[in-house]
Amino acid sequence: MNESTTLTNRERRENVAFLGQAFLAAQRLPAEILDAEQRDQFLQDEAEQGHLFYTLLCYGALVATMEFTGQAPKGVLPEAVRTGLLGLAILLWAPMYLGEQAVVARGTPVAARTAAVLVAAVADGQAILGLVSYFLGGGVQWFTYFVGLSVLSFLYLWLRMPTYVAMVEGGTGGNP
């Protein structure tokens, strides 16, 4: 019979070290989301980069349409839950910033792409939390708070974009 035993902390550390070494030895890279032509088009075309804000415009248009047509949802969330969601959106900023800084410090093209995706995901996540708060909380002001945080995150991404582009094009980078 095969009996399972509990691993000691030393055995766990050895397993983690082995897996880390095997990953580094394989030199595997994450799958490319965009092919080289699409990536070059995005990096060289500022109008294309501006499309990052498109989701915010769509969310805003949805909320404005519902407000102006009188179909605004009635609030079902208590004030404390909405405040908690806003706190969560604000707390997402710290890991985004620290995670982005740690990834960019690696100075590789893959790190630049990872950092840009991380910041964009947090920014869009904050706007989505705003939509959830609007639909469940029934208040435009809550949507506005969340979208404001999202806009700050997207502005941060926009300001960092030259660093990401330089890292991808030159294979080097870091903080400006």
Query: What was the pLDDT predicted at 31?
Result: 58
Please state the φ and ψ torsions of residue 68, each to the nearest 5 degrees: -75, -25
Instruction: Give the confidence band of 127 by pLDDT, cuts at 50, 70, 90.
Output: confident
* 63-80 pLDDT, tens digit each: 888 888 888 777 777 778
Prediction pTM value = 0.62
Dist CA 170 CA 163 (whole Å)? 10
Mean predicted confidence (pLDDT) in 86-108: 76
Helix ranges (H only) for the chain are 9-26, 36-44, 46-50, 54-68, 79-91, 93-104, 109-137, 140-170
Answer whether residue 175 shows pLDDT above 50.
no
Q: In 3D, which of 113, 110, 129, 118 has the Cα closest to residue 94?
A: 118
